[in-house]
Amino acid sequence: MRARILAAAAEEFVDRGFQGARLAEIARRAGFTKGAVYSNFESKQDLFVELFEQRWLDLMGRVAGEIAGLGLADAVGKGGAAIASALVADPEWSLLVLEFGVQAVRDPQVRQAYQRERRLLRGKLIELIADRAREWGVDMDVHTTALSLTALISGLVLEHAVDPEEVDEQAIGAAVTALFAGAVARAG
């Protein structure tokens, strides 16, 4: 049941955006009642947050898989390319995350859910970067790198949506690669 609700919610959010999505429509798409949705999720933002977490963890897993076993120089470029590929392949979802963030600024309930999830995911990203840095023998500022990466991704998503010809997959990959290369260079 939960998987069907999540799949229906993903469709509804992509079709109508976070603000326009309705739990009744998610329930209809999933073939359940609105009560069934509420028995699995407390609110629309909780449902969105779970989808957001799944997608973010999937992206981190894909990037980790791409760079597994690579040396530092190769991993920096390959990781940037993997992130760029994922962002360009699913631009609607990336824009939904931005919409959710803007809504979080305006709505205290959404803010609470957004903040909780972003902190959790940033923590997982910090762990991933720290693990790789230890593997490569680099003593880098993993907190600042993770924060910079999440902020850069948000900005690149918006820029790509507005100007996909100029801010294409190659440009996104180069920007992410430059961020990591700079973090490694600062680590000395």
User: Domain count of the chain?
Assistant: 2
Same domain assignment for residues 36 and 49 = no
CATH code of the domain covering residue 156: 1.10.357.10
- The domain in which residue 81 lies consists of 44-187
61 with 25, same domain? no
Same domain for 81 and 6? no
CB contact burial 98-110 (16+ within 10 A = b; e otherwise): bbbbebbeeeeeb
**CATH number of 20's domain:** 1.10.10.60
Q: Are residues 35 and 120 in the same domain?
A: no
Does one domain contain both 49 and 32?
no
Q: Please state, in angstroms and rounded to a whole number, the distance separating the CA atoms of residues 157 and 118.
A: 16
Residue 170, amino acid: Q
User: Helix 44-67 crosses helix 2-20 at what angle (to 10 degrees)?
Assistant: 110
Alpha helices by DSSP H, 21-164:
23-30, 34-40, 44-67, 72-89, 91-106, 108-136, 142-162
Per-residue pLDDT of the chain (188 residues; tens, 9 = 90+): 999 999 999 999 999 999 999 999 999 999 999 999 999 999 999 999 999 999 999 999 999 999 999 998 899 999 999 999 999 998 888 889 899 999 999 999 999 999 999 999 999 999 999 999 999 999 999 999 999 999 999 999 999 999 999 999 999 999 999 999 999 999 87
Q: How many residues does the chain have?
A: 188
Query: Distance of alpha carbon 26 from its chain centroid, rounded?
Result: 22
Residues 138 and 48 grouped into a single domain? yes
d(CA 151, CA 171): 16
- Please check whether residues 37 and 79 belong to one and the same domain: no
